[in-house]
């Protein structure tokens, strides 16, 4: 099946690309392996120079790259520009800090000298999604390349132009051929890529189902693996929350990228004292969101990336309403060309509804009414996911105490969950394992090697 670039705003085919056969794949992996051996011998200064030049090129042509993102997956152009800038930031971050992160750690032992050195693993296979088609790739590529690894990319089939543009910007920045390669392969070939002796580790951002398959292949072949999977992040609003701030951030967190974000707030868990007022304010702000052409800077809600995503979302919403949830606003497709869905709120969602148990990947917020603060914490943890979470309260000391008990990779207090190069990012439970970004992220794909020297 070819890679197809389809504009979700107009439902028009932009371009197709043929998939590779197995021979082409193995040639590319072998080339990456050879290139990585030479790259591993380069200085940190050389690696940092490539990353800095990449950041410069991204900032020199933000409209080129942001337009490509919007054309292929439909996010508002202004959000796509922010995504491109964030990619430049992560390149600058690892160019500046990578050498320090990888400096050997001296350790006291019975040796005359002993330390832990950090050395590249080899070729890292990155299996990446379509929802942040530049950012997800760059947050894996920047630390991997800075550590001396090569990276081969299996991108989502609906964003091939983004994948090729990323490869081109690295190449134009001086990265040798083979050190970053887009693999135009089918999903069924991913297991073969993982099994290749030329691949040494794999990182995936994607669905829980995809994560299980990649983890199984990585385990069978004893390859290091990092998984960043789905989420159903709780957004806990306590009785003393600043409701104006909380509802502003509720809208921003749920409806950014048309709700197609693993770390979007998805379950709005509210205590009785403020539940009705929170919902009233939330509804007004959601209904004020502007739906339209994502190329228009005034647009806040663009289309979903594919028609099947919209169909799945609507079925989840319809089933949840039949199971007792109340439709507050939206809850249907937008009657226009493209794959648009109304910004929606479901209230009084209980554990009888699909929306309680499943991740809703689109512009739908669910409101869950907790009986108390303790009940809110219970509900927050009553999910198989554990990616992000947030707590909204003016008593930050109390919120910090509660944060310690939330089963998630991060908790933000009075702030929207986001990824930041300076902070580790990843989840627990069915949201995956391992960490991206920060010092922890660059250490995922290195050999932490003990060196012991006698007196």
The closest of 202, 143, 198, 145 to 174, measured between CA atoms, is: 145
Q: What is the pTM of this model?
A: 0.97
Angle, helices 135-146/77-101, rounded to nearest 10 degrees: 20
Q: What are residue 181's DSSP bridge partners?
A: 152
Task: At 84, list the tokens.
Answer: 């491109």
Q: Say if residues 412 and 233 touch (Cβ distance below 8 Å).
A: no
Provide the mean pLDDT of the chain.
Answer: 98
The continuous run of DSSP H or E covering 152 comes out as: strand 150-154
Work out the average pLDDT over 218-238: 98
pLDDT score for 1? 74
165-208 confidence digits (pLDDT tens):
999 999 999 999 999 999 999 999 999 999 999 999 999 999 99
Q: Say if residues 310 and 362 touch (Cβ distance below 8 Å).
A: yes
Give the active site residue among 87, 225, 262, 331.
Answer: 262
Confidence of residue 2 (pLDDT cuts 50, 70, 90): confident
351-363 confidence digits (pLDDT tens):
999 999 999 999 9
Provide the CA 146 distance to its chain's centre, in angstroms.
20
Give the active site residue among 228, 358, 359, 436.
Answer: 228
Domains of the chain, with CATH numbers? 3-229+429-453 (3.40.605.10), 233-413 (3.40.309.10)
Work out the average pLDDT over 387-405: 98
Active site residue 228: yes
The residues, any chain, with a CB within 8 Å of residue 281's CB and separated by 6 or more, are 243, 244, 247
Q: Say if residues 266 and 297 touch (Cβ distance below 8 Å).
A: no
Hey, how many other C-beta atoms are within 10 angstroms of the C-beta on 332?
12
Angle, helices 160-172/62-73, rounded to nearest 10 degrees: 160
């Amino acid at each position: 099946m070819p890679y197809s670039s389809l504009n979700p705003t107009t439902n028009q085919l932009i371009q197709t690309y043929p998939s590779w056969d197995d021979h082409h794949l193995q040639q590319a992996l072998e080339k990456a392996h050879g290139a990585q051996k030479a790259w591993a011998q380069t200085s940190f200064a050389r690696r940092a120079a490539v990353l800095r030049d990449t950041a410069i090129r991204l900032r020199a042509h933000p409209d080129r790259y942001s337009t490509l993102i919007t054309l292929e997956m439909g996010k508002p152009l202004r959000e796509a520009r922010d995504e491109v800038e964030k990619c430049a930031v992560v390149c600058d971050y690892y160019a500046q800090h990578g050498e320090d992160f990888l400096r050997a750690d001296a350790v006291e032992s019975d040796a005359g000298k002993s330390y832990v050195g950090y050395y590249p693993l080899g070729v890292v296979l990155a299996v990446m999604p379509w929802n942040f088609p530049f950012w997800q790739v760059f947050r894996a590529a920047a630390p991997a390349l800075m550590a001396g690894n090569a990276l081969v990319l299996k991108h989502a089939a609906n964003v091939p132009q983004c994948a090729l543009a990323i490869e081109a910007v690295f190449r134009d920045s001086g990265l040798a051929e083979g050190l970053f390669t887009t693999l135009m392969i089918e999903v069924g070939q991913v297991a073969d890529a993982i099994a290749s002796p030329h691949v040494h580790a794999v990182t995936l951002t994607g669905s829980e189902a995809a994560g299980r398959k990649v983890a199984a292949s990585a385990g069978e072949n004893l390859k290091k693996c990092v998984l960043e999977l789905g989420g159903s992040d709780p957004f806990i609003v306590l009785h003393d929350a600043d409701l104006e701030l909380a509802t502003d951030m509720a809208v921003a967190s749920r409806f950014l990228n048309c709700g197609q974000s693993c770390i979007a707030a998805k379950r709005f868990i509210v205590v009785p004292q403020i539940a009705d007022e929170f919902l009233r304010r939330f509804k007004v702000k959601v209904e004020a969101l502007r739906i339209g052409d994502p190329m228009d800077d005034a647009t806040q809600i663009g289309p979903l990336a594919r028609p099947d995503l919209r169909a799945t979302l609507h079925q989840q919403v319809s089933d949840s309403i039949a199971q007792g949830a109340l439709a507050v606003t939206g809850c249907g497709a937008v009657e226009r060309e493209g794959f648009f869905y109304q910004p929606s709120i479901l209230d009084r969602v209980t554990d009888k509804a699909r929306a309680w148990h499943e991740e809703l990947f689109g512009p739908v917020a669910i409101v869950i009414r907790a009986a108390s603060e303790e009940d809110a914490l219970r509900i927050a943890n009553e999910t198989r996911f554990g990616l992000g979470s947030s707590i909204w309260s003016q008593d930050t000391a109390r919120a910090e105490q509660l944060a310690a008990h939330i089963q998630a990779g991060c908790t933000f207090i009075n702030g929207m969950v986001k990824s930041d190069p300076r902070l580790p990012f990843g989840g627990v439970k069915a949201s995956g394992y391992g960490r991206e970004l920060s010092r922890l992220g660059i250490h995922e794909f290195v050999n932490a090697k003990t060196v012991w020297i006698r007196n």
